[in-house]
Structure 1
Amino acid sequence: MRVLVAVLPFAGHVAPMQALVRELTARGHDVRVYTGSAYRSRFEDAGASVLVWRMAPDFDEHALERTFPQLRGKKGPRQLLANVEHLFIRSAAGQAQDLLAEWRSEPWDMLLSETTSVGAALAAERTTAPWVSVAITPLSLPSTALPPSGLGIRPGRGPVGRFRDRALRVVSRALTRRLRTALDETRATAGLGPSPVPFEAAGFSPTLILATGSRSLDYRRPDPPPHLHYVGTLGVFAGTPHPQWWAEVEHATAPVVHVTQGTQNLNPDDLLRPALEALADEPVLVVASSGVAGHDRLPFPVPENVRVAGLLPHAELLPRTSVMITNGGWGGTLAALSSGVPLILAGGDLDKPEVAARVGWSGAGIDLRTGTPDARQISAAFRRIRSDPSFRAAAKAVGRELGEGGGVPRAVDLIEQVETPDPGESPSAASGA
C-alpha cells in the first residue's frame, strides 16, 4: 500500500506512530509521514519519506506560546480547552490544505492518523482512500453512559451517579460550545459543511479505531463501536543513550524509583522538586528525567540518592523500577504498566488528569488528584504503595492485558485488513479535492 501517516509533532505522539511506521515499511509498504520538521529524521530513520507542515504552523513543542500565544498563562482545564481550540482545531485547515496538495500530487491508498490530527480527518472527507485513526491518548470517544472525557472524573455509581454523569454531559456541551464553533469555522475554511459528528469524535475514523491501552484502562463502555480495537502499547522512543551513571542502575541493590514530568509543562517545581524532597531520606535510588534531551541538571540542588538525565532508556529502566512517580503522560504510563510498575500520578493538565483517574480506577496506582502535590502527599503515597502489594498485583494484571493487545504487529495486521483501492489503480480525488 501507499500509506500517508499524519502525526502532530509531539514526542508522545511521535513515538507510537513511529513504531507503526517502522513496521509498515518493514512489511514493504510505501509510507509518507506528515509531521513537524523537528521529527523529520525520526521518521526517515524508520524508512519513510517526510512531508513537513507548510500551510499549517510548524511549532516547537517546548515553546508552544511562540506559535500559539493564546496558550500563554493557561493551566488546568483552561489549558486543555485552549490547546484543543487553537493547536488541534484551528491549525487543522492548514493541515488539510497541505495534505490535499500532496493528494493531488501523489494519492495514497490509506490515510493513517492519530486522533488529535483533526486536519487529517478533514482531508479524509475530501479523498477516496480509507482512513484509520490511532488513539495515542486515553480513549476519549464520547459515550452515552460515561462522564465527559478529559475531566479526570470516574463514572458514577447507582442512580445518583448516573444522574450526575448525565448532568456533566449537558454541562460539558455548554462549556465546549466554543470548540464546536471553532470546528465548524475550520471545516468551512477547508471547504466542508458543519461537522456531522460531535467535536469530541472528530478525530475518530468510522472504519477502524486502534486504541492504545486496554479495557481495564478504559471505563466500561456499554456502547463501544464494532470497529474499535485495543492494541496495548505501541512502544517508546528507542536509541536514548545511557547517562554516565547508568551502571548504578544496573547494579543497584536499593529499589529504583523513577520520577518524570514527561515532555510537556516542564516546570520542575510542579512534581520533580517535591518528589525528590519526599524521597531524600528513603533507602532508594531515584532516577529523574528533566524531559528534554541534553538537560541533565535541575535548577536546584538534588539529594544524594538522586541521579538526573534529560531522557532515559525506558525499555531498560522500567524493568528495573520499583515505583514510578509521574505527571501521567500516556506513553510513559503504558510503558510502566507493561513492565508491571505501580504508579503515583500527579496529573494536572491536558489529558493527564484523565490518565491519573483511569490508573487509580484500575487499582494499579495512586491518583494524587493534583498536578502540584507537596512532598508530604508524595511521601504518604509512596509509603502506601510500597506497603500494599495490591498495587503491584494490579499493575502486573494491567501489564498482562496490555501485552495481550498485540502491540505494533497486531495493529498493523488490522490496518492491512482494511479494504483499499487496487494498488494498480490511481485513486481519484473526491469532488472538491
Structure 2
Amino acid sequence: MSRILVAATPVTGHTGPLLRIAAHLVDLGHEVAFLGGARFAERAGAAGAVFHPLPPEADYDERDFDASFPARRSVPPGPARVAWDVMHVFGDPLPAQLRSLRQLLAEFPASAVIHDNLFLGGVALALSAPAADRPTVLSIGVSPLGVPSRDTAPHLLGLLPPVDEEERARYAVLAESLEERTRPVHAYLSGVFAAAGVRLPAGPSGRVRAESADHYLQLTVPGFEYPRTDLPANVSFVGALPLPAGRDPWQPEWWPALSWARAAGRRVVVVTQGTLANVDLTELTAPTVRALAERRDLLVVAATARPDGAQALHDALSDLQGLPTNAVATGYIPFDALLPFADLLVTNGGYGGVQAALGYGVPLVVAGETEDKPEVAARVEWSGTGVNLRTARPSAEQLSAAVDKVLDDPAFRERAHALRSELAEYDALSLIAELATGPGGA
C-alpha cells in the first residue's frame, strides 16, 4: 500500500472533489494525509484521512471572502476581480502551502501528492525538483480546462472555439492583447513563487500550471471540452467524480410530489445557485420560480443549499406572496437523490454541478458570469446540452423562453444523454488511484 498526500484549496468546490478522492484511496487501503482548510477537518476525518490544517496565512472561508480579503470588495466583478483572485486568493497562500507540504512530506514520506489545479503550492512543489527527486504530482482539474490553444478562444471570456481561420486570427490578436494586460499578474505570481524559492517558467499561466504536474487530470470527458491539437501530453480526461451518496435518509415532506409530478406527466425543473453564490437568491433562483409560476405542466424545485433558503426565497418572492403552487423550496438536498427526477437544471454554472447533471442526462439552462462560469456556460452551449443565457441576472422572460426551448427541443436531451453515456465509460476514482499508486506513483 502507498502513502499519499492530498492537498486542497480551502474552497468547497475544490475541497469536495479532493475529499472524495481521498476517501476512495483510504477504501483501497492506502495511508492518506489531507492538507486543507480547518473547517473541513471533520469531513476529512470521516473520509478516513489524517487531517492537517493549512496554516492561518493560507486558510480562509469562501463564505465570507470579505473577512479574509477586505480589499476584494472594491474590485469590480469580471476580469479585474479574476486577476485579483489569481494574485491574492490563490497566489498569496503559495509560500505557506509549499512550506506545509514539505513539512508534512518530512513526517509522512508520500509517494504521490494530489492537489486541485489552483492549489499553487502543489505547482511549486512540482517545479522545485526533478520528478526523480520528489513525489509524483497529480493536479486535478476541478474547473474548466484553462490550457491556451490555437484551437480555442482566450480562456475565461466565455467565447466558443474559432469556426474558421478569420476567427482564429482574431482570437490570436485578442490573446496577445490579454497577455499584455495580464503581464502584471504573471509578474506578481513570479514574485510569489520566487519568495518560496521556486522559479515560475515563462508562458501562459494556464499552460504552466498544467504542464508542471506529472499528470494533469481533468474531471470531465472529451465530449464536454474543446478539442485541442496542441494539448500537453500530460493532460488526460478521467471523467467526472461520482456524487457523494446522501447519508441522511430524511426526505422533505414535499418529496412525494416528485413522483406525483412524473405520474401526471408534469416535468420537473430544478434551479440552484450552488453552495457558494447563493447569498442573493434574487440573481437566479427567485427569477426562475417567478418565470415559471403557476404553470400546470411543471414542478419547480428550488434547491437553495442553505438552511434558511426556503424562508429567504419566500421573502424574495414577496410580490407573489410567497412560493407559487407549482414550486417547492429546500435547503440542502443531495443531488444524487434529486437529479434522477429532473427534466432540466437551471444553474449558475458551477463546474461540478453541471457535470453531475450531465451524469444523469439532464439538459441545462446556465446563467453565470463570474469566475469560470462563463467558460462552463460556453461549454454547455458548444456541447449542445443546454442554453447559455450569458448573464447572471436573467429576466423572467429570458428564463421562460430558455426553459421552453430546452424542454421542447429533444436535441438538448439527446445530447445530454450522449454525454451521460460518455461519462459512464470512465471511472475517475479508479483512474486517479491507478496513476497515484501505480508505477511512478507508488
* TM-score normalised per structure 1: 0.92
Report what 2:417 is aligned to: 396
Q: What displacement does 1:185 show?
A: 1.1
**RMSD, aligned CA:** 1.8
For 2:5 and 2:310, how far apart are their aligned partners in 1?
A: 36
Report what 1:431 is aligned to: none
For 1:185 and 1:56, how far apart are their aligned partners in 2?
A: 17
3-state SS in 2 of match to 1:311: coil
3-state SS in 2 of match to 1:63: helix
Q: What is the CA deviation profile of residues 35-84 of structure 1, one whole-angstrom value per residue up to 9, with x for unaligned ones?
A: 10111111211110111111533211111111012321532333322222
Question: Are 1:238 and 2:245 counterparts?
Answer: yes
Question: Are 1:114 and 2:108 counterparts?
Answer: no
The structure with more helix, counted as a fraction of residues: 2
For 1:318 and 1:154, how far apart are their aligned partners in 2?
A: 28
| Greater RCO (CA < 8 Å, at least 6 residues apart) | 1
Which deviates the most, 106-115 or 316-325? 106-115
**Contact 1:346–1:371, Cα closer than 8 Å, also in 2:** yes
Report what 2:50 is aligned to: 49
Q: Match for 2:207: what amino acid? A: A
Q: What displacement does 1:310 show?
A: 1.9
Report what 1:328 is aligned to: 349
Which deviates the most, 334-343 or 126-135? 126-135
| Structure 1 segment 17-416 matched on structure 2, within 5 A | 17-73=18-74, 74-126=76-128, 128-204=134-210, 205-239=212-246, 241=248, 242-253=251-262, 254-266=266-278, 267-283=280-296, 284-293=298-307, 295-298=309-312, 299-300=315-316, 301-416=322-437
**Contact 2:112–2:437, Cα closer than 8 Å, also in 1:** no
Report what 1:8 is aligned to: 9
Cα distance change, pair 122–274 in 1 and its aligned pair in 2 (3 A): same
Q: Match for 2:257: what amino acid? A: E
**Contact 1:294–1:311, Cα closer than 8 Å, also in 2:** no
**Contact 1:114–1:203, Cα closer than 8 Å, also in 2:** no
Q: What displacement does 1:222 show?
A: 0.6
Structure 1: unaligned runs, 5 residues or longer: 422-433
Q: Match for 2:57: what amino acid? A: A
**Contact 1:44–1:50, Cα closer than 8 Å, also in 2:** yes
**Contact 2:6–2:115, Cα closer than 8 Å, also in 1:** yes
Q: What is the CA deviation profile of residues 162-196 of structure 1, one whole-angstrom value per residue up to 9, with x for unaligned ones?
A: 11111121122112112201211111110123435
Q: What displacement does 1:293 show?
A: 4.5
For 1:198 and 1:239, how far apart are their aligned partners in 2?
A: 40
3-state SS in 2 of match to 1:33: strand
3-state SS in 1 of match to 2:33: strand
3-state SS in 1 of match to 2:35: strand
Residues paired across the two proteins, number: 421
Q: Match for 1:318: what amino acid? A: L
3-state SS in 1 of match to 2:220: coil
Which deviates the most, 99-108 or 15-24? 99-108
Q: Match for 2:290: what amino acid? A: E
Identity of aligned residues (%): 33
Q: What displacement does 1:202 show?
A: 4.1
Which deviates the most, 224-233 or 253-262? 224-233
3-state SS in 1 of match to 2:343: strand
Q: Match for 2:267: what amino acid? A: P
For 1:309 and 1:200, how far apart are their aligned partners in 2?
A: 37
**Contact 1:16–1:235, Cα closer than 8 Å, also in 2:** no
Q: What is the CA deviation profile of residues 230-267 of structure 1, one whole-angstrom value per residue up to 9, with x for unaligned ones?
A: 11111334336433422322443321110001122221
Q: What displacement does 1:87 show?
A: 0.7
Which deviates the most, 190-199 or 88-97? 190-199
**Contact 1:56–1:93, Cα closer than 8 Å, also in 2:** no
Cα distance change, pair 225–86 in 1 and its aligned pair in 2 (3 A): same
3-state SS in 2 of match to 1:122: helix
**Contact 2:268–2:300, Cα closer than 8 Å, also in 1:** yes
Q: What displacement does 1:144 show?
A: 3.4
3-state SS in 2 of match to 1:268: coil
**Contact 2:33–2:52, Cα closer than 8 Å, also in 1:** yes
**Contact 1:3–1:32, Cα closer than 8 Å, also in 2:** yes
**Contact 1:274–1:374, Cα closer than 8 Å, also in 2:** yes
Q: Match for 2:300: what amino acid? A: V
Q: Match for 1:94: what amino acid? A: A
* TM-score normalised per structure 2: 0.91
